[in-house]
Structure 1
Amino acid sequence: MNKTFKIYAVIFIIVMVILALLEVNKKETTDWRKTFDRNEKSPFGLFVFSNEAKDLFKGNLKKVEQAPYEYYNQYKKEPHNIVLIENNIDKESWKKILDQVAKGSDAMLMASRMPKQISDTIGYYDSEISFEEENVLKLTDKKYQNDFIKLDKFPSGRGFSFIKPGVVVLGKTVEKKNADQANFIKIKFGKGNIYAHSEPLFLTNYYLLKPGNVKYAQDVFSYLPDRETLWFVENNSKTSRFFMRFILSNPALKYAWWIFLGGLVLFIFFNAKRKQRIVPVIEPLRNTSVDFVKSIGNLYLQEGDFHDMMAKKAQYFLNKVRIDLLIDTQDLDTDFAKKLQLKTGKPMEIINEAISLIKRAQDPYAQVMKEDLARINKLLDDILK
């Protein structure tokens, strides 16, 4: 086991121990926000009601995720029931709902703050009627006198005041220090009825799970006829589409994800230190001898000094003869010509012509043409082949 691996192992164990201690000592926090979300299991969500609503309405409940305006433009409905619980509904959708009620449908509206379109249309005013931390919801009908619900966690304290004639009070908020205030009313509208309840909190998980509280909810909805009921719910497509939402919403997966990211960062950090820097590629030095010779040759050619070039060629040739052929080149006479012919095997005519040109190259006063330079260059190269 090398040293680097040991470091990784120690760091990983330390991180795991810290996370374990945090998990053990972590205090569960309760989300007391009034979300009224049918999928939310927090105290003030509607998860329990959403699951039990089918039995509450005897199988006649349909959850609609479309806005009422879109739904009623798409479907023509016979008289039915409409349920709305703390919905954010646009003005045109309210017009569609009121139009359905006028034709014989019944609407059950449950909201701590009633929309102005509804209050102005049916004639009542909702306001804050209580500032107590606890109150009791009761129905006015004598047959429901024994069914009530006690709100001991964040009641809205809202109700209805300045009620116009024709509005029937079905439920009240009862307090010890204050007079009873209306919180559940019924209004005749066209051929149908509108039921408005100002305290939807009794439908949340926290209260429905308490013994006996379900009966109050059953009593409230018993005012609706036994027929098809449409519950307009918030569209779940508005929820986050972040690809990590499932992992981050699950504590175990969330911790695993953060451990993975931490380990990846540590791996990159330590691994990067071990990597050698990139060795730059050094190109080898180029052999520029040929280029140099070409440059010198071009220089002589441009200057037109054929005599000097011819002399250097002759000097180079004689040097090669002395070194390679071991022939003395001090005297370029007949004896030299014979030895060169014997060593190279070239015809005597070529040998004699080459010697003649060499002598001309060595004579500083001789006239040399371009053709002479080309001829001596060819003859000397042929002899040394």
Structure 2
Amino acid sequence: MNGKLIKILVGFFILSIGCLILLAIFSTPKTNWEIKFKKESKSPFGLYILYNDLQHLTGAKKVIEVKNLEDLKDLNPKTDVIFYIDTNNKSSFQVLKEINDLNKREFKLFYADSQNYNSKIIEESTKTKINTIELEIYQNRYTNEAKYFNSLKNVETIGTVTIRDSVFTNFMIEKNNKMVRYTHADPLLFSNFYLLNPEGYAYAKESLKPLNNKNVYWINPDRSYATNDNNLSPLSFILSQPELKAAWYVLLAAIFLYLIFKSKREQKIIPIVNPEKNLSLEYSNVIASMYYESGKPQDIIKKKIDYFYYTLRKQFNIATDNVFDEHFIYVLAQKAQITEAEVVEFITELDNLYQNPKTQLKDVNRTYHIIENYKTKAHII
């Protein structure tokens, strides 16, 4: 990746961040009316106010977030109360099963369900009442239903909802074996939307009186619980926790971006190209072997001397028609820094070897040494 492309990418990144900041500053935030009973949610139908103000709202000793459903078995019914809003998600079955298993022991539960009750469209005269506290259900396009229980037996009614002239129970006490369950039909009445209203806050405070002076064990509606950790894979546990889930996705995005930039910066592998082999030496060895094995040293000597004279013509730019010419001898002596007598001596010897038809293998070696000796003195490569 060259420097110009890096500058373009950095500039594009800075421009994108600037645009996002400007959009965040000047854009009008839209209200999220989606029903999500999360303790971190500040949307109208979130539980941020309820969770953070629950101790003050109810007069509870303390609010404890349940991390493991197994902890519910160790609660003291005289001092502890379970608080659970059922959102009917994939973890609801496990939570309710664990709570039902507590029927053999004495315990108290505040329970609100968002789906499993009857409902009617809210009309202008719709009101909810608990003891002396009344709350008008504000008619709007987001909360247009009033929820209530249809058929009730052996229960104590605490709160009601009035639709025109009909009165229905929406808050009651159930007693089953040693369990005491305070069941509310409409958890929306405990959301941020209603708690921000003085009447709604007063209604929630009256409804949550059973939690007064108790230790409240809060079960997260949006959390996946598992009683057997051996059946829970590490990834399932990570995805079940909002914080770990967000960190996991950030990690995946970072790895993806790293791989993209690394692939751009990584230099491509340059293939190894082997140079072409110089076979001239092998060729010379083959030819020499052929001559040597043929038993004709005279041919080798003649070719060796002819090639030597060719080299002299090429190097010194002189004629070799008459090797005993005075000029020829003079030039060879000057080039090798030897006497002319020495030149005449080795030329005569070469000529005799060239003319002798009965040369032997030892004469080939002699020819080689004569020529190489002169080439060394004359610095001929």
TM-score (norm 2): 0.66
Give the structure 2 partner of residue 169 of structure 1. Answer: 157
1:257 matched residue in structure 2: none
Bigger mean CA deviation after superposition, 208-217 or 153-162: 153-162
1:16-27 to 2 correspondences below 5 Å: 26-27=27-28
Counterpart of 1:147 in 2: which secondary structure? strand
- 2:121 is aligned to 131
* Distance in structure 1 (CA, Å) of the matches to 2:157 and 2:26: 51
Q: How far did residue 174 of structure 1 move?
A: 1.1
Q: Specify the SS of the correspondent of 1:110.
A: strand
For 1:101-112, list aligned pairs within 5 A: 103-112=105-114
Using the aligned pairs only, state the percent identity: 20
1:381 pairs with one of 356, 360, 372: 372
Tell me the distance in 1 between the aligned counterparts of 2:159 and 2:366.
130
- Determine helix, strand or coil for the equivalent of 2:166: coil
> CA deviation digits over 1:127-148, x for unaligned, max 9?
23x1236632112xxxx33433
Per-residue deviation, 1:208: 0.7
Distance 1:9 1:190 in 2: 67
Aligned equivalents of 1:81, 1:200: Cα separation in 2: 17
CA shift, 1:231, in A, is 2.1
Describe the shift of the 1:211–1:204 C-alpha distance in structure 2 as closer, same or farther (beyond 3 A). Answer: same
- After TM superposition, the structure 1 = structure 2 runs for residues 340-379 of structure 1, keeping only pairs within 5 Å, are 344=338, 355-362=348-355, 366-379=357-370
Taking a change above 3 Å as real, the CA distance of residues 219 and 243 of structure 1, as seen in their structure-2 partners, is closer
Query: 2 CA distance for matches of 1:24 and 1:338?
Result: 100
Matches within 5 A, 1:124-273: 126-128=117-119, 130-132=120-122, 135-139=126-130, 144-153=131-140, 154-164=143-153, 166-176=154-164, 179-224=166-211, 226-234=213-221, 235=223, 238-239=241-242, 241-243=245-247
- 1:66 Cα deviation from its structure 2 partner: 2.6
Cα offset, 1:197, TM superposition: 0.8
Deviations along 1:199-255, whole A, 9 cap, x unmatched? 111111111101222111111112456433322224495216334989xxxxxxxxx
Q: Which amino acid aligns with 1:175?
A: I
1:152 corresponds to which letter in structure 2?
Q
**Residues 29 and 320 from structure 1, CA distance in 2 versus in 1: closer, same or farther, beyond 3 angstroms?**
closer
Equivalence for 1:250: none
Secondary structure of 1:182's match?
strand
Gaps of 5+ in 1: 115-125, 247-260, 273-277
* Residue equivalent to 1:298: 286
Q: Using the alignment, how far apart are the partners of 2:38 and 2:323 within structure 1? A: 119
Alignment check: 8 A CA contact 1:354 1:380 kept: no
Q: What amino acid maps onto 2:156 in structure 1?
A: V
1:185 to partner: Cα distance: 1.5
Match status 1:81 vs 2:81: yes
- Tell me by how many angstroms 1:307 deviates: 2.0
Q: Is the 8 A contact 1:81 1:106 kept in 2?
A: yes
Counterpart of 2:41 in structure 1 is 40
* Separation in 1, partners of 2:10, 2:331: 87
Matched, 1:31 2:19: no
* 1:275 corresponding residue in structure 2: none
User: 1:64: which partner in 2?
Assistant: 65
Secondary structure of 2:44's aligned partner: coil
Q: Which moved more, 1:144-153 or 1:103-112?
A: 144-153
| TM-superposed deviation, 1:37 | 0.9
8 A Cα contact 1:101 1:194, kept in partner: no
Contact kept, 8 Å, 1:167 with 1:188, in 2: the verdict is yes
CA distance in 2, matches of 1:138, 1:33: 26
Q: Give me the whole-angstrom Cα distance separating, in 1, the residues matched to 2:323 and 2:139.
A: 134
**How far apart are the structure 1 equivalents of 2:214 and 2:42?**
29
Which runs of 5 or more structure 2 residues have no equivalent in the other structure? 225-239, 251-256
Q: Which amino acid aligns with 1:308?
A: D
Distance in 2, Cα, partners of 1:92 & 1:243 = 26
- Give the aligned partner of residue 117 of structure 1: none
